[in-house]
Chain A
Amino acid sequence: MAEAQFKVFRGEGAKGELFEFPVEVTEGMVVLDAVQQIQSRHANDLAVRWNCRAGKCGSCSAEVNGKPRLMCMTRMDELSLDVPVLIEPMRGFPHMKDLVTDVSRNYEINKKIRPLTPKPRETDGTYRMQQEDIERIQEFHKCIECFLCQNVCHVIRDHSVKEFAGPRFLIRIASLAMHPLDTLNRLKELKDVFGLGYCNITKCCTEVCPENIKITDNGIIPLKERVAGAFYDPLAWLWKNLTSNSKKIPEKNK
């Protein structure tokens, strides 16, 4: 049986250090298995969040060898086991204990987003929507709220910006703004409350998304186009030309 070494960050309130643990490696093992093995054998009180073990709940986000990942979807055979595997909490959030961080800010931002305000039903009591009109939003609905995108977003990491919702919530607003049933105009709050303008499209969020949502190209850029168009920004013309490759979206909010 192969053995690997793990270095796991342990401590409370950002004060802590790396502790080294041996891990017995079995076929097909993922990093979360290793962390749970450490927990059951060597460090019973090791704090870590996990739920589904299948990349569906977004609970076990952490930094594996410095890279933000879901631990349950990171296979050990992707990693070099010649050197210790480094497991640290997400850096973008206040630290609580061991691998657990305080992600409550995300829930506060979400609460500020006005809920779907649907148009009335058809006379037969149904809603009719064509598959091709909802496909883009279904992509955004794949979000499992692992908050890895919020974690890596450098606008959020630059704490001087207070009013920036971050990629997760910009695509959530995009999913409402592009929703065939929604009747609200969300452009002003996107600009003034959620700080859409702060995003300068470095696409760090898209790169870490375990659901492969094209956060920037399919969500944020189209929103920026709408906001630019709606508020007669003198740069609108230039902007549209710079981003002419981005996909077209329904014109509902214009």
Chain B
Amino acid sequence: MESYEVKEHDVLVIGAGGAGLRAAIEASAQGVSVGLVCKSLLGKAHTVMAEGGMAASLSNADPRDNWEVHFRDTIRGGKHINNWQMVEIFCQEAADRVSELEEWGALFDRTKEGLIAQRNFGGHRYPRLAHVGDRTGLELIRTLQNYGIHQGFEVYMECCVVELIKEKDQVCGAFGFWRESGQFIVFKAKSVVLATGGLGKVYRVTSNSWEGTGDGHALAYRAGAELVDMEFVQFHPTGMVWPPSVQGILVTEGVRGEGGILKNSDGKRFMFEYIPDAFAAETSDSEEEASRWLKGDPEARRPPELLTRDVVAKAIRSERIAGRGSPHGGAFLDIASQRDAEYIKKKLPSMYHQFMKLGNLDITSTPMEVGPTCHYVMGGVRVEPETAMTTVKGLFAAGEVAGGLHGANRLGGNSLTDLLVFGARAGFHSAKYSKEIAEALNPSEDLLKKMERFSLEPFDPERTENPYSVMADLQETMEINAGIVRTKDEMEKGLELLQDLKNRGEKVRVEGNRQYNPAWHYALDLKNLLCVAEAITLAALNREESRGGHTREDFPESSEYFQNVNSFISDKEGSMFIENREREPMPEHLEKLL
């Protein structure tokens, strides 16, 4: 056995995007020792890609807004299966968490009165998203980073966690390695916060970076925690579709928030045909009304392009299947006909730059081609709403890795605020939990040996599979068998194929040495991806209805039974076990907000 570097902290935070940084800041403020581990360099996490803004009912743009309307919008957008306790906490605390960023240096765009400006976004009844042009995520992460580095926590950059360490039913650390040297590192901790983000890399077309491999989901699952609502994956309606090399890269919903419209190959503004009954009362039913809304008429209803993401993604797909798609299989997103060039460049500078540079296309004069791309997972590790603690002692989770808040479909802008609200809560409660523990349990030597062996298996020269090929095949399998529209037959086939892929995953062979070897990192990520792929497919097969981000061709309607239940996945003697459990009914004071 190698000798390991050992680091000890009261709280170990895994992941340094918005949620991880916010958790580390809050835990440090409670006076405990905190370590923050991230796979990339600090400040490069996927949060940096968030564009449109963060939702909070500051009511700077429309005095009619308040946390109760935000609650209503979030539950309706989540198609009524959200964990309502989380939504209540979230909507009540969102504004404070956003304002606090200003004290730490964030500079949001301003209203004429000098307050934080707010923009329209899908599913939000009033303009609600605090934003900085279309680079809000960058502002968020940089603000937390530059504030955080003075709060006394230690940052472990380019350090990967392979497994959580658990002794006597309690999480007490993590086993990982430095990417640069390939040397192992053992973290001893009284509590661990997972803030590892999403799992978009399980699909071929995705807006996620290499980091989105479902690490936290899989680490938690293997440590015995429960996952909730794993069938709900968000396919963002507007990813780039052309050229092929950029397929999947996000086009912010802010384009539609600023007035962009969707058209098919006949030039028709098709979203008017796809307005669900539940949203008809508050959606424009004519181009004339939508155009009045854009000009600021408070009586006009919102244009249908601002329906929730699940609705818009499916509409674009339907248009394509009906033969009315754009040349490369998407739809046309047109802001050029709605706003002047200067306004577009001011409000959507990085979209302008992105299309100009990568697509040779000027969005101030030409419509963009867009189509659905895997963007986010609503499902995740089940947590206590108040404390962000998982079902395993000493293990907390916040941000995208945690499930429940967003229900069946996340509203745009609710993610960044989620990171702040529940990042702060996870940081606070993990610190509190750690203070009550005298000393972190020591990992047994046997366990560490096992983890070392597991980590080094891919270097075995007897092995044959290329990790890049297995990952690509996994992504293709998920795209086909558990993608945006699902059927029983395809998913059953998918589960079989996942078994083959698992077998291949165990034969993955890595060449070269341990120093900064991406093939090795991919080989280890693959195990996590295979775990979440199975969870998604199993949960999607279980939910025999269509709701939000989960669409079944064989069960196109929503069902009353499934509206009242959430699905929970856990490990039962080495196999993935799923069950549906009824949600606690919403109390009257919240029910009446809907």
Asked if B48 contacts A52 (CB within 8 A), the reply is yes
Is B572 an interface position by the 8 A CB rule?
no
Most chain B CB within a 10 A radius of its CB, from A41, A55, A56, A138: A56
CA distance A75 to B243 in the complex (A): 11
Cα of A181 to Cα of B101 in the assembled complex, Å: 12
A131 touches B110 (CB 8 A): yes
Partner of A45 from B149, B180, B353, B519 at Cβ < 8 Å: B519
Tally of chain A residues near chain B (CB < 8 A): 60
Instruction: Please tell me if the beta carbons of A75 and B110 are within 8 angstroms of each other in the complex.
Output: no
Q: Are A118 and B103 in contact (CB under 8 A)?
A: yes
Q: Are A26 and B245 in contact (CB under 8 A)?
A: yes
In chain A, positions 112-141 with a C-beta closer than 8 Å to chain B are: 113, 115-116, 118, 125-131, 134, 137-138, 141
B511 close to chain A: CB less than 8 A: yes
Closest B-chain residue to A127, C-beta based?
B102
Contact B138 A144 (CB under 8 A): yes
Q: CB within 8 A of B150: which of A115, A130, A138? A: A115
Nearest-neighbour CB distance to chain B for A145, whole angstroms, equals 6
Interface mask (A3-46 → B, CB under 8 Å = 1, otherwise 0): 00000000010000000000000111110010000011100111
Q: Is A73 an interface residue (CB 8 A)?
A: yes
For the complex, what is the distance from the CA of A126 to the CA of B469, rounded to whole Å?
53
- Among A39, A53, A59, A127, which residue has its beta carbon within 8 angstroms of that of B41? A59
Question: Is B224 interfacial (CB 8 A cutoff)?
Answer: no
Closest Cβ neighbor of B132 among chain A residues: A138
Q: Which residues of B contact A54 (CB under 8 A)?
A: 49, 246, 249-250, 354, 358
Selected from A47, A52, A176, the residue in CB contact (under 8 A) with B517 is A47
A142 contacts B135, C-beta separation under 8 Å: yes
Confirm or deny: A224 has a beta carbon within 8 angstroms of a beta carbon on chain B.
no
Q: Which residues of A77-117 are within 8 A (CB) of B?
A: 96-98, 100, 103-104, 107, 110-111, 113, 115-116
B139 touches A141 (CB 8 A): yes
Selected from B42, B133, B359, B515, the residue in CB contact (under 8 A) with A28 is B359
Determine the chain A residues whose CB is within 8 A of the CB of B150 once the complex forms.
111, 115
- The answer on a CB contact under 8 Å between A128 and B516 is no
Q: B574 near A: Cβ within 8 Å?
A: no
**Interface pair A59/B358, CB less than 8 Å apart:** no
Please tell me if the beta carbons of B468 and A30 are within 8 angstroms of each other in the complex. Answer: no
Measured between C-beta atoms, what is the minimum distance from B507 to chain A in Å?
Answer: 14
Complex Cα distance A142/B134, Å? 10
Question: Is B209 within 8 A of A51, CB to CB?
Answer: yes
Cβ-closest chain B residue relative to A119 = B103
Measured as residues with beta carbon below 8 angstroms from the partner, the interface class of chain B is: 35 or more
Say yes or no: is B235 at the interface (Cβ < 8 Å to chain A): no
Min CB distance B16 to A, Å, is 12
> B63 contacts the other chain (Cβ, under 8 Å)?
no
Q: Is the CB of B107 within 8 A of A50?
A: no
Q: Residues of A contacting B587 with CB < 8 Å? A: none
Is the pair A44, B358 in contact by a Cβ cutoff of 8 Å? Answer: no
Cα distance, A118 to B147, chains bound together (Å): 12
User: Which B505-550 residues have C-beta < 8 A from chain A?
Assistant: 510-513, 515-520
What is the CA–CA distance of A241 and B267 in the complex, to the nearest angstrom? 57
Asked if A57 is at the interface of the complex by the 8 Å CB criterion, the answer is yes
Is the Cβ of B44 less than 8 Å from the Cβ of A59?
A: yes
Residue of A at shortest CB range from B249? A54
A107-B42, A130-B114 given; A97·B516 CB < 8 A: yes
A130 contacts which chain B residues (CB < 8 A)?
110, 114
A115 to B105, CA, bound (A): 8
- Minimum CB distance partner of A32 in chain B: B245
Query: Is A56's CB under 8 angstroms from B518's CB?
Result: no
Which residues of A are found within 8 Å of B512, using beta-carbon distances?
44-45
A121 to chain B, nearest CB (A): 8
B464-500 vs A, CB cutoff 8 Å, 1 = contact: the mask equals: 0011110010000000000000000000000000000
Q: Is the CB of B146 within 8 A of A138?
A: no
> Contact: A56 with B138, CB < 8 Å?
yes
A141 to B136, CA, bound (A): 10
- Is B107's CB under 8 angstroms from A134's CB? yes
Within the complex, the shortest CB–CB distance from B192 to chain A, in Å, comes to: 24
Known: A45-B511, A126-B115, A176-B105. A51 touches B468 (CB 8 A): no
Name the one of B146, B211, B242, B466 contacting A110, with C-beta atoms under 8 angstroms: B146
Q: Is the CB of A252 closer than 8 A to any CB of chain B?
A: no
Assess A30 versus B114: contact at CB under 8 Å? Given A53-B249, A110-B146, A115-B105: no
Please determine whether B105 and A179 come into contact, CB atoms closer than 8 angstroms.
yes
Contacts of A53 in B (CB 8 A): 209, 246, 249
Min C-beta distance of A5 to chain B, whole Å: 19
Check A129–B139 contact: CB distance below 8 A. Answer: no
Q: Cβ of B43 < 8 Å from any Cβ of A? A: yes
| Contact A45-B518, Cβ < 8 Å, known A51-B44, A75-B358, A130-B110 | yes
Interchain CB contact (< 8 A) of A59 among B40, B146, B519: B40
A49 sits at the interface (CB 8 A): yes
Across the interface, name the chain B residue whose C-beta is closest to A51: B209
Residue numbers in B under 8 Å from A142 (CB-CB): 135, 138
Our pick among A26, A44, A51, A131 for the contact of B211 (Cβ within 8 Å) is A51
> Do A51 and B40 touch across chains, with their CB atoms under 8 A apart?
yes
Q: Given that A45-B517, A128-B114 are known contacts, is A26 also in contact with B468, CB under 8 Å in the complex? A: no
Nearest Cβ on chain B to A25's Cβ, whole angstroms = 10
B309 contacts A by Cβ under 8 Å:
no
B46 within 8 A of A: yes
Task: State how many angstroms separate the Cβ of B312 from the closest Cβ of chain A.
Answer: 21
The CB with the most chain B CB atoms within 10 A, among A54, A73, A111, A125, is that of: A54
A81 → chain B, closest Cβ, in Å? 15
Bound Cα distance from A125 to B58, whole angstroms: 12
Q: Are B354 and A55 in contact (CB under 8 A)?
A: yes
CB pairs A–B below 8 angstroms (21 shown): A27-B243, A28-B242, A28-B245, A30-B246, A30-B358, A40-B469, A44-B510, A47-B515, A51-B209, A52-B46, A54-B358, A55-B350, A55-B353, A56-B49, A57-B209, A110-B149, A116-B105, A126-B115, A128-B114, A141-B107, A143-B142
Residues of B bordering A, CB below 8 Å:
40-46, 48-49, 99, 102-105, 107, 109-110, 113-115, 132-133, 135, 137-139, 142, 146-147, 149-150, 157, 180, 209-211, 242-246, 249-250, 350, 353-354, 357-360, 466-469, 472, 510-513, 515-520
Q: A29-B245, A56-B48, A96-B180 are in contact. List 6 more A-B contacts (CB 8 A).
A: A39-B468, A50-B210, A57-B44, A57-B49, A126-B99, A143-B142
